[in-house]
Amino acid sequence: MSLKRYLPILDWGARYDRDTATSDLVAAVIVTIMLIPQSLAYAMLAGLPPEVGLYASIAPLILYAVFGTSRALAVGPVAVVSLMTAAAVGQVAAQGTPEYWGAAIALALMSGLMLTAMGLLRLGFMANFLSHPVISGFITASGIIIAASQLKHILGVKAGGHNLAEVLASLAQTIGDANPITAVIGVSVAAFLFWARKRLKPLLIAKGLRPRLADVIAKAGPVMAVAASTLAVWGLGLHERGVAIVGAIPSGLPPLALPSLDPALWSSLAVSALLISVVGFVESVSVAQTLAAKRRQRIVPDQELIGLGAANIGAAFTGGFPVTGGFARSVVNFDAGAETPAAGAFTAVGILLAALLLTPLLYFLPVATLAATIIVAVLSLVDLGALRRTWAYSRPDFAAQLATIALTLGFGVEAGILAGVGLSIFLHLYTSSRPHVAVLGLVPGSEHFRNIRRHDVVTAPHVLMMRIDESLYFANARFLEDHVADAVAADPALRHVVLMCSAVNEIDASALESLEAIDQRLKAAGLRLHLSEVKGPVMDRLKRTDFLDHLSGDVFLTQYDAFHALAPAIADAARRAERRDTARPPAQAAQ
């Protein structure tokens, strides 16, 4: 039982049969075709030699198949994590050096260990601190940075820069040196890929192909672009006219090697590794959950952490770099019929064959083609419309999203995501530090209490009834003190304050002390504090303290009980009154 929990392969492996294997194999072929150019391109995005992309697409896939719980997740290099890898590793080593590759490997190991530890300690909830608007803003901004960073390869210039402004400025300076042939290749590949993505499949179906086949051909667009542009360079000798090519890729098995354990390197990469782990996990678990739900299956988030952790540890020991579950690739895997994680293992075999046999064919592959592949892939991640939707629904979420986008574009991926997380936590605390408080009155002819600003209700001059629409905790404890103090200071006739707690899910130690302070202050001023409709679990905890012994007033089961006890004549009269529509005209109900 426990072994199956940590080794999900024992579960689905026991029932594995020929039909499942056929489905998985078909999916694996399609994903392999898609993954070969992607893995080369994302290695380039991460600043690494192209073969590293292949290495990162073999062992990690097999290990995820053993430890992962998603039946359809396709693990491997992905755009955003590759960008984050480049940003992190670029701080400790120069691109093109063995130290740079070694740092990328160490980053994969650290990320793998962190993910595994988070899984074993069930810390998957840490991913929740990335709110959806922050993730969406981060991915949008990353997509823009990635696309901008690839423009130099499309143009064939040597531009640099660490943030969007620098990249664009550097491009503007160097655009005079652009290689026209490279630009033609880059732009036409990008145009073809955009076209293939939108139009090729409908076109093929219209030409009479079966939808399944049309889909596979359309998905092979990048492979066609790779083949065509490689042939063009080779046939026309374009590499001698300034077109940058991938060049010699060592063929063979991934190198087995121990990653660097240098403490100085590890400590300078620690924050980056944590951010990569969390971002990778969030991206991966979202798509895994969506795909699982379509077949009414379930994934286990904490075990997913272990699966992704194993994949990254595998990447580290076979010369790879940080990997996670890719969105587009997983959807393709699912649509192609993958039924178990074995599809991933079969994909790994496909990539292994490519690493052994195909690399000589990639010698003349133009770098501009890979750049175009990346641009087309990441632009689908860019969703600036999300800003408008978030604005319409929630101002605090909008602020966090805008800050994430602006800081990611301006100061890089790590600053952006940290600011987004910090700001969304701050704004959540801020929002809940000023909860909605309604002053209540009795709806005539009923036992219901409503906001006196929105409804025609009955109140008693010496009884103040308030409903707090929030749990009481440290961030709003003082707000409640202020609120009650103001209300009481404003009305000398008051003798009783009743707090209706139907929306209070928790009272923490700070809020308890505030309630005690409110009670003592009211007592000193000759008033009594009462509570009503306190929830069971909250009441259980209050009973463990002496708060209820000292409380100047009572705890009432219902708000009506409270009103009836404190103002019996008014409550009786209102209760017997004819019930009427209590909502005030809109002008008065504005707040």
Q: Which residues between 500 and 519 bind a copy of itself (CB under 8 A)?
A: 502-503, 505-506, 508-510, 512-514, 517
Interaction of residue 168 with a copy of itself, rule CB under 8 A: no
Interaction of residue 479 with a copy of itself, rule CB under 8 A: yes
From CA 312, how far away is CA 349, in angstroms rounded?
18
From CA 241, how far away is CA 461, in angstroms rounded?
91
Span near a copy of itself by CB under 8 A; candidates 40-48, 60-68, 282-290, 307-315: 282-290
Span near a copy of itself by CB under 8 A; candidates 40-48, 86-94, 325-333, 425-433: 425-433
Residue whose CB is less far from a copy of itself, 94 or 557: 557
8-state DSSP, 254 = P
Span near a copy of itself by CB under 8 A; candidates 44-52, 320-328, 389-397, 409-417: 389-397
Residues 6+ positions from 50 with CB-CB distance below 8 Å: 40, 43, 44, 246, 249, 362, 370
Residue 424 contacts residue 131 (beta carbons within 8 Å)? yes
Interaction of residue 288 with a copy of itself, rule CB under 8 A: no
Residue whose CB is less far from a copy of itself, 29 or 485: 485
Residue type, 549: D
Quote the distance between the C-alpha of residue 541 and its chain's center: 35
Span near a copy of itself by CB under 8 A; candidates 89-97, 203-211, 289-297, 363-371: 289-297
Residue whose CB is less far from a copy of itself, 20 or 297: 297
Interaction of residue 396 with a copy of itself, rule CB under 8 A: yes
CB of 354 to a copy of itself, least distance (A): 34
Interaction of residue 394 with a copy of itself, rule CB under 8 A: yes
Interaction of residue 444 with a copy of itself, rule CB under 8 A: no
Place of tokens 């491997």: 76
CB of 450 to a copy of itself, least distance (A): 10
Residues 516-555 binding a copy of itself (CB under 8 A) are 517, 520-522, 524-525, 535, 537, 541, 544-545
Comparing CA positions, the residue from 346, 377, 380, 355 lying closest to residue 253 is 355
Which of 290, 446, 552, 558 binds a copy of itself (CB under 8 A)? It is 290
Q: How many CA atoms lie within 13 A of 373 on its CB side?
A: 30
Mapped to the 3 state alphabet, what secondary structure does 272-287 carry?
HHHHHHHHHHHHHHHH
Residue whose CB is less far from a copy of itself, 97 or 545: 545
Place of tokens 């929740």: 128
Span near a copy of itself by CB under 8 A; candidates 169-177, 197-205, 221-229, 420-428: 420-428
The b/e string for 566-577 (b: 16+ C-beta within 10 A; e otherwise) is bbeebbeebbee
Which of 492, 581, 586, 587 binds a copy of itself (CB under 8 A)? It is 492
- Phi, psi (degrees; rounded to nearest 5) at 444: -55, 140
Place of tokens 């707040």: 591
Residue whose CB is less far from a copy of itself, 200 or 507: 507
Interaction of residue 132 with a copy of itself, rule CB under 8 A: yes
Which of 116, 150, 476, 582 binds a copy of itself (CB under 8 A)? It is 476
Interaction of residue 428 with a copy of itself, rule CB under 8 A: yes
Residue whose CB is less far from a copy of itself, 435 or 553: 435
CB of 34 to a copy of itself, least distance (A): 24
With contacts defined by CB under 8 A, how many residues of the chain interact with a copy of itself?
77
What residues are paired with 532 via a beta bridge?
A: 500, 556
Residue whose CB is less far from a copy of itself, 147 or 504: 504
Which of 166, 262, 481, 554 binds a copy of itself (CB under 8 A)? It is 481
Region of 227 (left: φ > 0; alpha: ψ -120 to 50; beta: rest) is: alpha
What residues are paired with 440 via a beta bridge?
A: 451
CB of 470 to a copy of itself, least distance (A): 5
Which of 125, 158, 461, 572 binds a copy of itself (CB under 8 A)? It is 125
Residue 63 contacts residue 54 (beta carbons within 8 Å)? no
CB of 115 to a copy of itself, least distance (A): 16
Q: How many Cβ atoms are within 10 Å of 223's Cβ, its own excluded? A: 16
Residue whose CB is less far from a copy of itself, 70 or 359: 70
Residues 202-231 binding a copy of itself (CB under 8 A) are none
Quote the distance between the C-alpha of residue 132 and its chain's center: 6
Interaction of residue 138 with a copy of itself, rule CB under 8 A: no
CB of 397 to a copy of itself, least distance (A): 4
Region of 412 (left: φ > 0; alpha: ψ -120 to 50; beta: rest) is: left
From CA 381, how far away is CA 390, in angstroms rounded?
17
From CA 248, how far away is CA 258, in angstroms rounded?
25
Residue 356 contacts residue 253 (beta carbons within 8 Å)? yes
CB of 279 to a copy of itself, least distance (A): 14
Place of tokens 């889909």: 215
Report the length, in residues, of the chain.
591
Quote the crossing angle between the two packed helices 367-379 and 180-195, to the nearest 10°: 40
Interaction of residue 456 with a copy of itself, rule CB under 8 A: no
Which H or E element spans position 513? helix 509-524
Span near a copy of itself by CB under 8 A; candidates 154-162, 172-180, 187-195, 426-434: 426-434
Interaction of residue 404 with a copy of itself, rule CB under 8 A: no
